[in-house]
A and B are shown apart, each in its own frame.
Chain A
Amino acid sequence: MGILQCIKMAFRSIKSNKLRSCLTMLGIIIGVSSVIVLVSMAQGSTTNVTNQINQLGTNLLTVNTFGTDLALTQDKIDQLSKLNGVKAVAPVVSGRVTVKEDRTSSQQSVLATTPDYSSVRNVNVSEGRFITDLDIEYRQKIAVLGSDTAATLFSGNDPVGQNILVNGTSFKVVGVLASKGSSLGSSGDDVVIVPLSTGERLLKQTDINQVYLQGKNENQMDFVQAEVEAKLASMFPNNTDSYTVSNQKDLMDTMSSVTESMTLMLGGIAGISLLVGGIGIMNIMLVSVSERTKEIGIRKAIGAKRRDVLLQFLIESTVLSSMGGIIGIIFGLCLGKILSSAFNMTLSYSSSIMFMAFLFSLAVGVVFGVFPANKASKLNPIQALRYE
């Protein structure tokens, strides 16, 4: 007997027991849709975190030193920038200042840096321009505002070309940064960026204790980090505890291992519900086999082989579970849409997960169908015929 005929027969028997079939499928539907929703949620947060980390700059190394003894002089920064695999460096002096515009006054963090900061930290201006080398050379009193700072001080008016008072000194606003949103708790939009030379004066601090380095290639980052560490060790012998080099990749790895285990955990929990659904299928198939003992007897008497009966019941359970799988995928997608719009969550669907969930539901049907189907196929036709 052909498979197609078996599938037809399976649909028929599922149709003849609609309520029961639906309830049986419900287990698989819930299982598959929860796998899809939960895994999409976990993957959504993974993408979110990855994006946030990438917003901080790509292939980023941060060098921090502590204390005036360990200040990074221009000479040392140049040495670091000449290392293999380093694309750009951006030294930073930071502090807090009072910024005043007309009658609005607020405390802001200020960053004094070089033009390369823009590419190293992946910040772009939405209006005006960023700091240039000339600004540093001539100690220009200019400032680039973060989008939130601009909104606070100018409340919607165009700040470019206007003047602000930073700790009492007049600065001209030349640009506004594009909003990056808050990432990992710190907002990149609440900032005033000034040229390094100007900032050193403003903050009365000539020691540079922080440098951002951008690597040329993502795969070389570990090597570049080792290089930088070796260089620092030669610059500051016997002071290895007084500086740190942190790799953005480390952060990324930590975060991704967290989200990965979250994905696994959520997927696992949902997988258990699929398993429970599978047991439901087995239960119903066993009931079905004993209900249809007479039918099996008749079929065997008129020539059904063991294989025919086995296939009939196996295909029935597989059809049941895979139908549940398909409905579950559709249901999961709908539920995901509702959840993501209702709770403003990022969900990332992957077709591979849907495919996996479907395959798993199919496998559940086969695995939990084998036992009842085998039981049916082994029935003795004489006894089965006598069964009422």
Chain B
Amino acid sequence: MSTPIIQIKNLMKTYKIGGETVHALNNVSLEIKKGEFLAIIGPSGSGKSTLMNMLGCLDRPDSGEYLLEGKNIGKMNDNQLASIRNQKIGFIFQNFNLLTKLTALENVELPLLYAGVSAKIRRETAMESLKKVGLADRAAHLPTQLSGGQQQRVAIARALAANPSILLADEPTGALDSRTSKEIMEIMQELNEIGNTIILITHDLTIAKQARRMVSIQDGQLQENGGELLGHFAMH
């Protein structure tokens, strides 16, 4: 665990909404090491989504530095960002974001498709990935034929398919009932145990607490261990 997988230094991002400047990220610094399970907790409007977009290489900072495995993300163009997202980041979304017209297997194959993997290896790797989340028998099903929990597991398999450096989960249990939420969190735990680096973004303290490390964000500023915010959340 020598060099961190993610190094963020003095990250700034501002938006102008109706003439008013909003500091979505205000001087954020963060280091994430390989194999970590980090939860980022914050209420809505805290800059949580901006941070997640930044970590997921969907957006570039106004200033500051973001190094992902030593590469400076801030200086990359759209195409370079796309291939970084493809190879280094596995997204897990709140509402699964599966393509409804593709089968579970085809959904999992998608990142490999964009990585230019040949059809045969693509199929094998995707199947392998589906096995990891226990859905090998549902490979030919369409997302609409699967339950919410199963859909999220397909999404996790998709995130894993290209063997990325980090898994970025944005409220992965937000659209699920408590029992399936528990299932999904168990899978996340298992994935972390076998060495995957996971970043979990949530507003739910009970979910965040299951991570090994927790940071909180409020008004665009980050605090280690949740800080005061944790107390603030605990009161609710």
Task: List residues 59-115 of chain B with CB under 8 A from any CB of chain A.
Answer: 59, 78-79, 82-83, 85-87, 91, 93, 97-99, 101, 110-111, 113-115
Listed from nearest, the 4 A-B pairs whose CB atoms lie closest are: A303-B86, A303-B114, A305-B82, A302-B111
28 A-B contacts (beta carbon < 8 Å): A1-B116, A2-B116, A5-B113, A12-B101, A16-B101, A295-B99, A297-B97, A299-B114, A300-B82, A300-B85, A302-B85, A302-B86, A302-B91, A302-B111, A303-B82, A303-B87, A303-B111, A303-B114, A303-B162, A304-B114, A305-B78, A305-B82, A305-B83, A305-B114, A306-B78, A306-B79, A382-B59, A385-B58
Say whether, besides A1-B114, A382-B58, A303 and B85 are in contact (CB < 8 Å).
yes
Q: B58: which of A2, A13, A301, A306 is its contact (CB, 8 Å)? A: A301
Complex formed: what's the CA distance from A304 to B81 in Å? 10
Complex formed: what's the CA distance from A299 to B98 in Å? 10
Complex formed: what's the CA distance from A308 to B82 in Å? 10
Complex formed: what's the CA distance from A307 to B91 in Å? 21
- Mark interface residues in B104-134 (1 if CB within 8 Å of A CB, else 0): 0000001101111000000000000000000
Complex formed: what's the CA distance from A2 to B158 in Å? 20
Q: A13: which of B79, B97, B101, B110 is its contact (CB, 8 Å)? A: B101
Complex formed: what's the CA distance from A12 to B103 in Å? 12
Complex formed: what's the CA distance from A381 to B91 in Å? 13
Complex formed: what's the CA distance from A16 to B103 in Å? 13
Closest to A16 in B: B101
B interface: dominant SS: helix
Chain A positions within 8 Å of B78 at CB level: 305-306
A298 CB–B CB distance under 8 Å:
yes
Complex formed: what's the CA distance from A324 to B97 in Å? 33
Give the bracket for the number of chain B residues in contact with chain A. 20 to 34
B137 to chain A, nearest CB (A): 23
| Residues of chain B whose beta carbon lies under 8 Å from any beta carbon of chain A | 53, 56, 58-59, 78-79, 82-83, 85-87, 91, 93, 97-99, 101, 110-111, 113-116, 158, 162
Interface pair B114/A308, CB less than 8 Å apart:
yes
| Residues of chain A whose beta carbon lies under 8 Å from any beta carbon of chain B | 1-2, 5, 12-13, 16, 294-295, 297-308, 381-382, 385
Complex formed: what's the CA distance from A385 to B162 in Å? 20
Interface pair A382/B53, CB less than 8 Å apart:
yes
Complex formed: what's the CA distance from A128 to B120 in Å? 79
B1 to chain A, nearest CB (A): 27
